[in-house]
Structure 1
Amino acid sequence: MMHQQKKVEKIDMNGYTLHLIPTKKFKTVHFVAKFKTALQRENITTRALIPYILMQGSKNYPTRPALEKKLDDLYGAVLTSDSSKKGNNHIISIRFNVANEKFTKNNSIFEEAITLFNEMLFYPRTEEKQFSNEIVKRELVTLKQKIESIIDDKLSYANMRLIEEMCSQETYQLPVHGYVEDLEKITAKSAYEYYQKIIKEDDLDIYVVGDIDSEEIEELFATKIHRKSVKRSLNKIEKNVQQEKEEVNEVIEKQDIQQAKLHIGYRTNCTYKDDLYPALQVFNGLFGAFPSSKLFINVREKNSLAYYAASRIESHKGLLFVFSGIAPKDYKAARDIIEHQLKAMQQGDFTEEELEKTKNLIINQLLETLDNPQGIIEMLYQQTVAGTLLPPSQLIERIKNVDKNDCIQIANQIKEDTVYLLTDKGGHLDG
């Protein structure tokens, strides 16, 4: 699986870093641009809006239908965008998938595609030095719906509230799509001014994955994509300062709901660039990432205390989250049994057989990720964000070498921080 992939080339270009990943696995070629800066309260909502505005048209294709026609001419190319959070960074991703010209009769596809990509990133549709009023109004409605849909989805809402409570003094608390109350302050002019700041100041990494000739692609990028007057932002990414709490913070919120959400946040004191990171992944696999994990088996199966119970790690901020859906009356019992699973891990209460099985599950998951072009890019981008070198093949090797003591060591570094319960208004909290 891995051996088909040639070496990744990383090239410093005109104001951005180009990552070329030649592989014969895919029939299409994938271009992804990632703009990264420090999370900040004052611009988070405007920033979340930008990727949606950029998708609505460019200088030469000013309407969505004109842009769709151009994409159709490029054999049904696909353009998408979103924003995400990794540690204390906010990232805007613009993704562009095009047919490989090797399989078509048109040998100028890459040139046309990179020209269009440049336009989508740096030459959006404008009207009198600002974005189109009509587009901004429409996309503000879309963003509002996105923010509100999180509030309506109780699992996402509970997770957001847990992070707000747990990281109340840290920028990581900021929600990726921003705040409804900011929307009315955003205008076509203010959004365009902030966009100018992004294209001048953000760190920009561009990834190209596919059956490509690296020299040809590098040359096309060198001639077609220039970032003008880049000045690196002085917004330093907040150091991973952790609020150490004297005691576990318990937050109980009540709404009209049938199923309660019990979400628990832990500090792992370990991030992607740390030596114990592979052990943290294996720990999470044993603890809550799979149907064979302790949370699923003990909280859900054996004790029927949860409709679901799982955990996941945030690799760049050093957090571990447990999610569970429970009957409101089972709060104390479910919380006790979840906490007991961490103690069991700290005491090494798992077998060598379970350890091996979990390592294989994680490795298979990573290999599956590497069978997908976007998966390859996300895994490589993890290194960029962490400022470290841990290629996927090396990560897999290190996961294979994780032993029982490593898992026990990392389990003992993990500290419970905040318990968040979203429950019914009846308030039955007895065990």
Structure 2
Amino acid sequence: MERYQPIVINEEVRLHCIKTDKFKTNLVSVYFQRPLLREEVTHNALLSMLLPRGTRQYPTAQNISMELENLYGASLGSDVAKKGERNILQFRLQVANEAYLDDKNIFSKGLNMLDQLISDPYLEDDQFSSSYLKQEKENLTEKIEGRINDKIKYAYERCIEEMCKNENFALYEYGKKEDLPKITGEQLYHHYGKLIESSPIDIFVIGDMEQGYIEEKVRKTFQFKRQNLVSGIREQVHHKPSKVLRIEESMEINQGKLNMGFRTNVPYESELYEPLVVFSNILGGGPNSKLFKNIREKESLCYYIFSRIEKFKSLMLIGSGIEFEHYEKTVDLIQKEIYEMKKGFFSEEDIDSAKKGIITSIRSLTDTPGMLADFYYTQTLSKNFDSLEDIIKKIEKVKKDEIVQAAQEISLDTIYFLKGKKEVAEK
């Protein structure tokens, strides 16, 4: 696998080529970077669902599907994501490698379809179709309301929302249901135009093609107008909580969901970031972790337990599923495990096991072109151009004293507990 230096093809439009023969298809991912803001997060989510409905040349989803079949089963899609306090609108094309086909223009044809999806949407009276808009508002409402169906993820996100209540990181990437009735086709089209013109754009192409060939096709296809460009921001990550916030909510559930949010005060630019990642993995990275062995297996207090780092906001989140009556004991034991690790009460065997787990996860990023593109885009946002092997080497070099040092600024900020309604009634 070879990653070429990024090419600037327009103002704040960069092309990133990653050459690999691992996949039978080529992937093109186009990322539009927006600030994560209350006033536009719902608009961006709605656009990600509306734009794939039709283009001027292919006005229905059926028209698009038929054309994709003509491109040997190519796929098109879009979605939104939250990376720190950035709201990312992503468009992607996956198309067969033309080296295996008689038609040597498949990549160009696929790029043209992707460009139409992004730049030439289906309109009625110079605004988005009212029927498409109505349907996608309903779909987005269902998606937002459906958050509660995945209780583990819901509790995790709710902990972040409470912890970062006065920060944009608290915003849900699919926005707010109450915003939807106010969004008109004309208003959304105006926002769309501003987004296309002013957002930093990164185009990632992953496949078995030469950079020069890709650059020629991309320059010929994408002609983004550029004006009033928005600049990327760096999140505020240094924070010392004055007191621990405790939030409890109730729902019709049989198993409590406990989440604890910590401020680490270790930015990803720091040399202590890799040691922090190793710390989190020793603590709650898998079946060999402290939390798993001591709280799940030894004490039998939880059904699952994990620790995770939120890179861009320098947070550490611990999540677990517990019986309602085990709440206080589990909180105490989690804090005890962190206290002991801060004191250096962990072994070289713990460190080696954590490193192996992290390295396995890093290597798995090459399993699909989508994961690979997302990894390198995340690296681009953080202005870090380390390869996967570079990161693995950094992890391998982490020493115990660095892990202990990285842990010293970790402070408990928020405890969120999702419990059953029956338990509330009994109290």
TM-score by length of 2: 0.96
1:409 paired residue among 405, 410, 427: 405
One-letter amino acid of the structure 2 residue matched with residue 119 of structure 1: Q
Report SS of the residue matched to 1:50. Answer: helix
One-letter amino acid of the structure 2 residue matched with residue 127 of structure 1: E
In the alignment, the residues of structure 2 paired with residue 243 and residue 249 of structure 1 have an alpha-carbon distance, to the nearest angstrom, of 14
In the alignment, the residues of structure 1 paired with residue 181 and residue 334 of structure 2 have an alpha-carbon distance, to the nearest angstrom, of 42
2:181 paired residue among 159, 174, 184: 184
What corresponds to 2:249 in structure 1? 253
Report SS of the residue matched to 1:342. Answer: helix
| Aligned-pair CA distance for 1:429 | 12
What corresponds to 2:324 in structure 1? 328
What corresponds to 1:215 in structure 2? 212
What corresponds to 1:8 in structure 2? 4
Retained in 1: the 8 A contact 2:244–2:414? yes
Report SS of the residue matched to 2:6. Answer: strand
| Aligned-pair CA distance for 1:191 | 1.4
What corresponds to 1:275 in structure 2? 271
In the alignment, the residues of structure 1 paired with residue 365 and residue 344 of structure 2 have an alpha-carbon distance, to the nearest angstrom, of 29
1:377 paired residue among 373, 378, 384: 373
1:52 and 2:12 correspond = no
| 1:377-396 pair list within 5 angstroms | 377-396=373-392
In the alignment, the residues of structure 2 paired with residue 123 and residue 428 of structure 1 have an alpha-carbon distance, to the nearest angstrom, of 53
What corresponds to 1:225 in structure 2? 222
| 1:31-50 pair list within 5 angstroms | 31-50=28-47
In the alignment, the residues of structure 1 paired with residue 366 and residue 281 of structure 2 have an alpha-carbon distance, to the nearest angstrom, of 19
- Once the two structures are superposed, what CA deviation does each residue of 1:358-411 show, in whole Å capped at 9, x if it has no partner? 111211211111232112212211222112333322111100100111111112
2:102 paired residue among 92, 105, 111: 105
- Once the two structures are superposed, what CA deviation does each residue of 1:280-321 show, in whole Å capped at 9, x if it has no partner? 221121111212111111111111111111111111111111
Report SS of the residue matched to 1:336. Answer: helix
1:308 and 2:307 correspond = no
Report SS of the residue matched to 1:98. Answer: strand
What corresponds to 1:166 in structure 2? 163
1:151 paired residue among 148, 152, 171: 148
Runs of 4+ off more than 4 Å: 426-430
- Once the two structures are superposed, what CA deviation does each residue of 1:141-160 show, in whole Å capped at 9, x if it has no partner? 11111111113332222222
1:360 paired residue among 346, 356, 360: 356
1:141 paired residue among 134, 138, 141: 138
What corresponds to 2:77 in structure 1? 80
One-letter amino acid of the structure 2 residue matched with residue 375 of structure 1: M
In the alignment, the residues of structure 2 paired with residue 158 and residue 35 of structure 1 have an alpha-carbon distance, to the nearest angstrom, of 28
In the alignment, the residues of structure 1 paired with residue 145 and residue 238 of structure 2 have an alpha-carbon distance, to the nearest angstrom, of 29
In the alignment, the residues of structure 1 paired with residue 252 and residue 57 of structure 2 have an alpha-carbon distance, to the nearest angstrom, of 50
Deviates more, 1:361-370 or 1:324-333: 361-370
In the alignment, the residues of structure 2 paired with residue 63 and residue 314 of structure 1 have an alpha-carbon distance, to the nearest angstrom, of 39
Deviates more, 1:419-428 or 1:190-199: 419-428
- Once the two structures are superposed, what CA deviation does each residue of 1:29-49 show, in whole Å capped at 9, x if it has no partner? 000011111111111111111
Retained in 2: the 8 A contact 1:29–1:98? yes
In the alignment, the residues of structure 2 paired with residue 198 and residue 390 of structure 1 have an alpha-carbon distance, to the nearest angstrom, of 29
What corresponds to 1:71 in structure 2? 68
Report SS of the residue matched to 2:78. Answer: strand
| Aligned-pair CA distance for 1:6 | 1.5
Deviates more, 1:186-195 or 1:420-429: 420-429
In the alignment, the residues of structure 2 paired with residue 319 and residue 429 of structure 1 have an alpha-carbon distance, to the nearest angstrom, of 34
In the alignment, the residues of structure 2 paired with residue 127 and residue 397 of structure 1 have an alpha-carbon distance, to the nearest angstrom, of 54
Report SS of the residue matched to 1:349. Answer: coil
In the alignment, the residues of structure 1 paired with residue 73 and residue 101 of structure 2 have an alpha-carbon distance, to the nearest angstrom, of 12
Count residues with an aligned counterpart.
425
One-letter amino acid of the structure 2 residue matched with residue 334 of structure 1: T
1:94 paired residue among 91, 98, 120: 91
| Aligned-pair CA distance for 1:88 | 0.8
What corresponds to 1:342 in structure 2? 338
- State the identity as a percent: 36
Retained in 2: the 8 A contact 1:332–1:429? no
In the alignment, the residues of structure 2 paired with residue 114 and residue 422 of structure 1 have an alpha-carbon distance, to the nearest angstrom, of 46
Where in structure 2 are there 5+ consecutive unaligned residues? none
Report SS of the residue matched to 2:266. Answer: coil
In the alignment, the residues of structure 1 paired with residue 3 and residue 144 of structure 2 have an alpha-carbon distance, to the nearest angstrom, of 40
Deviates more, 1:313-322 or 1:368-377: 368-377
Retained in 2: the 8 A contact 1:39–1:237? no
Retained in 1: the 8 A contact 2:28–2:203? yes
One-letter amino acid of the structure 1 residue matched with residue 105 of structure 2: S
1:423 and 2:419 correspond = yes
- Once the two structures are superposed, what CA deviation does each residue of 1:44-93 show, in whole Å capped at 9, x if it has no partner? 11111111111111121110000001111110001122111111101111
One-letter amino acid of the structure 2 residue matched with residue 57 of structure 1: G
1:299 and 2:295 correspond = yes
Retained in 2: the 8 A contact 1:169–1:243? no
2:127 paired residue among 117, 126, 130: 130
Report SS of the residue matched to 2:213. Answer: helix
In the alignment, the residues of structure 1 paired with residue 4 and residue 147 of structure 2 have an alpha-carbon distance, to the nearest angstrom, of 37
Report SS of the residue matched to 1:307. Answer: strand
In the alignment, the residues of structure 2 paired with residue 150 and residue 242 of structure 1 have an alpha-carbon distance, to the nearest angstrom, of 29
Where in structure 1 are there 5+ consecutive unaligned residues? none
TM-score by length of 1: 0.95
- Once the two structures are superposed, what CA deviation does each residue of 1:178-230 show, in whole Å capped at 9, x if it has no partner? 11111111121111111111101111101000000211110111111111133
One-letter amino acid of the structure 1 residue matched with residue 195 of structure 2: I
In the alignment, the residues of structure 1 paired with residue 192 and residue 124 of structure 2 have an alpha-carbon distance, to the nearest angstrom, of 14
Cα distance change on mapping 1:173 and 1:343 into 2, 3 Å? same
